[in-house]
Amino acid sequence: MSSPQSMVVSMRLPVESGRRLKRMAGRHGWTPSDASARLVEEGLRRSEFAFIDFRDSPVGRQAFLQGSTLAVWEVLLLLRANTSATVVARHLQWPEAKVRAAIHYAEAFPEEIDAALAENDAVGFSALKRMLPQAEEFVVPARRSKR
């Protein structure tokens, strides 16, 4: 979420908020300044995009759809396979507006979403199985045509 240009903005926080900010920064290996900039950016994105939230994940902080366990890039992965927001919404049992929110966020921040999709594409099933020995490949049987 960093940008090549920046602006210095000073802010005053309550002491406890400052402590919490420092703890969060420490957990992520950030400076308190980096953590506060990230949190402000995430807050701005939350206010600009419906249904978007940010959470820590094993690969860092990511944009997620509120009320779900799916990151925005995962919804886009479903859209790749189904090509229709209506079909994906029906599959997830979500209102279509929630799927469209993921699409709008991805359009606004394509580098972020493309990087997550590329990382996902780089991990094949054999690599996944090494990390998760219990993993089993799920193959969808071919549909028979109705007669």
Task: Give the domain ranges of the chain.
Answer: 15-48, 51-131
The residue ranking higher by pLDDT, 30 or 127, is 30
pTM value surpassing 0.75: yes
pLDDT recorded at residue 135: 81
CA atoms within 13 A on the CB side of 76: 23
pLDDT grade for 131, boundaries at 50, 70 and 90: confident
The answer to whether the beta carbons of residues 112 and 71 sit under 8 Å apart is no
Residue type, 85: A
CA atoms within 13 A on the CB side of 58: 2
Q: 51-131: which CATH topology?
A: Arc Repressor Mutant, subunit A (1.10.10)
- Look at residue 99 and tell me whether its pLDDT is greater than 80: yes
| 39 closest CA partner among 58, 81, 30, 74 | 30
pLDDT grade for 2, boundaries at 50, 70 and 90: low
The residue ranking higher by pLDDT, 40 or 58, is 40
Of 5-14, 47-56, 66-75, which range is least confident? 5-14
